[in-house]
Amino acid sequence: MDASASTARSSSSVLTPRRVPKPRSTICCAETEPVTRLEGTAAGVGDAPITVFGIQNCDQVRRARAWLQAAGRPYRFHDFRVDGLQPELLAGWLRHVPWDSLLNRRGTTWRKLDESRRAAVTDQLSASELMLAEPTLVKRPVLQQGQKTLVGFSEPLYSAFFGPQDGASRS
């Protein structure tokens, strides 16, 4: 079992993540443990298009993109700094992921906020408004395939999500 994360199947065939803290990076805020929601089963994810959301210079986004490429999974990249963050997209993620898991409180953008703006984040509405104003406050990467959403990156979680054959095919 990998020390960073593992997944287990419950009796209802729903993937349930187990998280183990990872060391923090000084370069990228998303180096913290993946906050992952695997809604439903991994079966049926199939051929729905994959979109990776994040920023170009984020280490975790780079790792996720490299994993997808090595696994032969085509994807589209949505850069928050170039393409922004649409309210409907954020609302969709918040239906699957708790707001306090999606809001990145360990990154540079959060640390640069005024104390009053940080203190004003008390619920989903205030967090959503802040993430829309500052898209780099979204924990990265966010991977979306159909109605499935993953937040953060770890190889075991991506392997569980896409199937074990992908992890085995990597060099």
**Looking at residue 136, what DSSP letter applies?**
G
d(CA 78, CA 136): 12
Give the global pTM.
Answer: 0.71
Q: 35, 42, 58, 97: which is the annotated catalytic residue?
A: 58
Asked if residues 74 and 145 have their Cβ atoms less than 8 Å apart, the reply is no
Tell me, what's the pLDDT at 57?
94
Residue 63 DSSP code? H
Matching CATH number, 5-169, of 3.40.30.10, 3.90.550.10, 3.30.70.360, 2.60.40.10: 3.40.30.10
C-alpha to C-alpha distances, 87 to 91, 93, 160, 162, nearest whole angstrom: 6, 10, 29, 27
- Confidence at residue 76, expressed as pLDDT on a 0 to 100 scale: 98
* Residue 164 pLDDT: 62
Is 58 among the residues known to form the active site?
A: yes
Q: Could you state, in order of their start, the residue ranges of all structural domains in the chain?
A: 5-169
Please report the pLDDT score of residue 46 as a whole number: 61
Rounded average pLDDT per 10-residue block, the chain, 171 residues: 44 42 37 42 63 96 97 96 96 94 95 96 97 97 93 93 58 43
